């Protein structure tokens, strides 16, 4: 779901970090912020506090769960107000497209197409998904879209009580509450029986999973024999031949991002492929779509260039401000080729 939560407020703060960000309209900003009893000195204090907090030690698994739930409880409403129900990046082919909400919807459809899930034609119902689970569902945008597209049921799970509640509200508003349901649950201990779903969907949530083996094992467990598994997630780059790990600078950058976004240690797409093979997956396919989603960041940044957002940031909670600083680090990692937007799909063998 953004799994990296590219929230409006997060991007705003990223823009505040370089001093030149204020140069074009410094007089206007200083005047209006002063009128709101807020000063740019507050930004400096926030940034310094954020930098210090990112040097803290790695969190425990339980701390991560609590932090993730709280982070999305606080930020999901902000995202929905600006971008709507889809809490993920968009599909930019061509890269200059301007309908960003449609780009988010298209990302879902293009990933499904890429993974080999058939398009509904009216006479191929037997080939279409019947039961979908959305692992890390946000407020359920993907679940509802998939349910409407295929006429299938969709069960979404999230650690955030706010997201689960809002997902059910939107399902009722859109007339698909007979197909979609959302609940608070841990992706590493899913509340479903074995062999339940023929479509396993995880969009921008895998990066939050502290145990990637357990995460994939659970996806496999709840999948039906022959079921399709789709994972779209942020990863670090694959290691080159002869490398034993990332460089110290790369590890340090990711560690700072982890602190802000309540993330565990990262893995690569190669790691996911290895785990899938250990589970006996067949028809494994992978691809890097970093270049396809990159324009979405620019769109979010552009939408955030207003004084109201700046003042709102200075009044926001510390976790949001820290996430804002980390988005700047995310962009650095992406530009250096360290951070990748990876797609992985496979099927569970038929018995």
CA distance 92 to 23: 30
- pLDDT tens for 129-162 read 999 999 999 999 999 999 999 999 999 999 999 9
Give 262's pLDDT tier (boundaries 50, 70, 90). confident
Helix, strand, coil share (%) of the chain residues, nearest 5: 50, 15, 30
Is pLDDT above 70 for 317?
Answer: no
Return the HEC string of 59-79. CCHHHHHHHHHHHHHHHHHHH
Give 26's pLDDT tier (boundaries 50, 70, 90). very low
Q: pTM for this one? A: 0.84
Residue with tokens 């250990």: 278
Read off the tokens for 340.
């990748």
**285 membership: H or E segment, kind and range:** strand 282-288
Is pLDDT above 80 for 184?
Answer: yes
Give 18's pLDDT tier (boundaries 50, 70, 90). very low
CA angle 2, 292, 250 (to 5 degrees): 60
DSSP 291-303: HHHHHHHHHHHHH
CA angle 230, 227, 124 (to 5 degrees): 100
Per-domain residue ranges for the chain? 8-347
Coil, strand, or helix at residue 340?
strand
Q: Does domain 8-347 have CATH number 3.30.70.100?
A: no
Read off the tokens for 79.
């995202």
Is pLDDT above 60 for 330?
Answer: yes
What is the model's pLDDT at position 323?
Answer: 61
Give 301's pLDDT tier (boundaries 50, 70, 90). low
Residue with tokens 């040097």: 55
Beta strand residue intervals within the chain, DSSP E: 131-135, 153-158, 180-184, 197-203, 223-236, 282-288, 339-347
DSSP code, position 245 = S
* 43-47, 158-162, 198-202, 217-221: least confidently modelled range: 43-47
CA distance 284 to 342: 13
- pLDDT tens for 57-82 read 677 888 999 989 988 888 788 778 77
CA distance 297 to 287: 20
What is the sign of the dihedral through the CA atoms of 107, 113, 118 and 120?
positive
Q: What is the number of alpha carbons within 13 Å of residue 291 lying toward its C-beta?
A: 4
Share of the chain above pLDDT 70, in %: 76
What is the model's pLDDT at position 8?
Answer: 45
**329 membership: H or E segment, kind and range:** helix 318-335
Is pLDDT above 90 for 347?
Answer: yes
Higher local confidence (pLDDT), 231 or 44: 231
């Amino acid at each position: 779901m953004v799994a990296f939560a590219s929230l409006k407020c997060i991007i705003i703060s990223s823009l505040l970090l370089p001093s030149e960000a204020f140069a074009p309209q410094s007089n206007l900003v200083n005047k209006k912020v002063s009128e709101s009893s807020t000063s740019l000195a507050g930004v400096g204090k926030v940034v310094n506090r954020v930098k210090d907090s990112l040097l803290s030690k790695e969190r425990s698994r339980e701390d991560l769960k609590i932090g993730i739930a709280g982070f999305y409880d606080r930020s999901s409403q902000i995202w929905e107000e600006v971008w709507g129900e889809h809490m993920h990046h968009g599909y930019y082919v061509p890269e200059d497209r301007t309908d960003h909400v449609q780009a988010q919807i298209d990302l879902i459809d293009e990933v499904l197409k890429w993974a080999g899930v058939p398009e509904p034609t009216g006479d191929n119902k037997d080939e279409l998904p019947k039961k979908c689970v959305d692992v890390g569902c946000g407020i359920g945008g993907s679940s509802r879209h998939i349910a409407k597209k295929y006429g299938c049921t969709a069960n979404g799970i999230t650690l955030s009580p706010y997201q689960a509640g809002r997902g059910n509200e939107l399902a009722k508003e859109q007339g698909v509450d007979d197909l979609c349901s959302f609940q608070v649950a841990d992706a590493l201990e899913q509340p479903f029986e074995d062999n339940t779903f023929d479509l396993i969907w995880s969009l921008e949530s895998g990066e939050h999973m502290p145990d990637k083996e357990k995460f994939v094992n659970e996806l496999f467990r709840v999948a039906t024999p022959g079921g399709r598994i789709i994972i779209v997630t942020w990863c670090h780059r694959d290691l080159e031949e002869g490398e034993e790990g990332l460089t110290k600078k790369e590890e340090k950058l990711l560690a700072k991002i982890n602190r802000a976004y309540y993330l565990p240690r990262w893995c690569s797409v190669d790691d996911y492929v290895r785990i899938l093979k250990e589970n006996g997956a067949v028809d494994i396919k992978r691809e890097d779509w970093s270049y396809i989603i990159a324009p979405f960041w620019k769109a979010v940044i552009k939408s955030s260039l207003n004084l109201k957002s700046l003042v709102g940031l200075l009044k926001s909670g510390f976790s949001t401000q820290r996430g804002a600083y980390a988005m700047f680090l995310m962009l650095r990692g992406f530009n250096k080729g360290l951070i990748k937007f990876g797609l992985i799909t496979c099927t569970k063998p038929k018995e």
